[in-house]
Amino acid sequence: MPTSRRVVTVERVADAPEVPFPTRATDGSACFDLCSAESVRLRRGKITLVRTGLRMRSPPGTFIEVRPRSGLGSKGVIMPNAPGTIDRDYAGEVKVPLTFLLSGGYRIEIGDRIGQVRVVRESPAAFRKGRVTVSTDRDGGFGSTGR
C-alpha cells in the first residue's frame, strides 16, 4: 500500500458512468491512464473537452499533470495544451482537451484511454524584481539554438 504522502483522492462525479480510476498499464509505466466518461466525435481543428467523470486531489506539496497519449498522437489526436495542470485546489471534474488534426473525425468511446496523469512535486520558488545581467547567444527566443 502506498504511503499517504503519495495517495491521490479520487471521486466519481455523480452523473458519470463507471470508468476505471487512473491505472498504470504496466509496472514500468511512468503515468496512469485516464479514460473517457463519454462518447464523442472529435472534429478537425475543434477542441473538445472530454469528460473523465472523475475529480482528483493530490497530496500536499504536489500537483497532477495531465499528458497526452502517444498512441492517440500517432492517429492524429492531440492534447493542445499539453501538459495540463490540475492544481491541488481545483475541485471540478477533470476533462481532457483533445483535437483531431486529420480530415474527417475521430470517435472516442466510453472507457477509451484519452490521456495520462502523473503526480509531480511542487518546486517552491519566489520571484523578485532585479536585473538579469546574463547575455547569451540564446537571446532570440523560440528556436534560438538554431536546431
Residue 113 lies in a domain: yes
Task: Say if 50 falls within a structural domain.
Answer: yes
Q: Is the dihedral of CA 19, 14, 10, 71 positive or negative?
A: positive
Taking only the tens of pLDDT, the chain with its 147 residues reads: 455 457 999 999 999 989 999 999 999 999 999 999 999 999 999 999 999 999 999 999 999 999 999 999 999 999 999 999 999 999 999 999 999 999 999 999 999 999 999 999 998 899 999 998 777 766 666 655 665
Nearest-angstrom CA–CA distance, 62 and 122? 5
* CATH code of the domain in which 96 resides: 2.70.40.10
User: Is residue 25 domain-resident?
Assistant: yes
Confirm whether 143 is domain-assigned: no
Answer whether 122's CB lies under 8 Å from 49's CB: no
Total domains, the chain: 1
Domain that holds residue 66: 4-121
The answer to whether the CB of 96 falls within 8 A of the CB of 38 is no
